[in-house]
């Protein structure tokens, strides 16, 4: 399975640090590990982090649904929605399953 890219989209800046909109980009790997890269536009600090799972990213940075995971690449074995179209808007307030799980393929 190829790595699957996503954006962290913050609708409400709960902490007042990172601002709103796209605040980070990430990649989920076949083994479930995740890397995020914070753009640092609002804070002036860019940071790269490695996580054990997308669920961990959502638990730490979801802020009760204020930030959502927006997949750029489709789940494995599915057809892309179209050029530049995110495949789903999995909200960290919900359980954001890894890209290989059956529930991740629903948009």
Q: State residue 23 phi and psi, 5-degree precision.
A: -105, -15
Of 15, 12, 60, which Cα lies nearest the Cα of 34?
60
Band the pLDDT of 102: cuts 50, 70, 90.
very low
Q: State residue 42 phi and psi, 5-degree precision.
A: -80, -40
Beta bridge partners of 67: 10
What pLDDT digit, counting tens, does each position of 6-63 carry?
999 988 888 878 788 899 999 999 999 999 999 887 778 889 999 999 999 998 877 7
pLDDT for the residue 66? 80
pLDDT for the residue 106? 31
Q: From CA 10, how far away is CA 71, in angstroms rounded?
A: 14
Q: From CA 76, how far away is CA 18, in angstroms rounded?
A: 31
pLDDT for the residue 36? 96
What pLDDT digit, counting tens, does each position of 73-84 carry?
998 888 766 555
The predicted model gives 83-90 an average pLDDT of 53
């Amino acid at each position: 399975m190829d790595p699957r890219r996503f954006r962290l989209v913050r609708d409400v800046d709960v902490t007042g640090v990172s601002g709103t909109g796209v605040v980070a980009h990430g990649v989920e790997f076949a083994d479930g590990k995740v890397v995020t890269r914070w753009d640092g536009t609002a804070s002036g600090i860019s940071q790269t982090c490695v996580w054990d799972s997308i669920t961990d990213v959502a638990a730490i940075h979801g802020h009760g649904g204020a930030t959502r995971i927006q997949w750029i690449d489709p789940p494995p074995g599915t057809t892309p929605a179209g050029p530049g179209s995110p495949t789903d808007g999995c909200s960290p307030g919900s359980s954001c399953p890894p890209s290989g799980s059956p529930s991740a393929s629903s948009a």
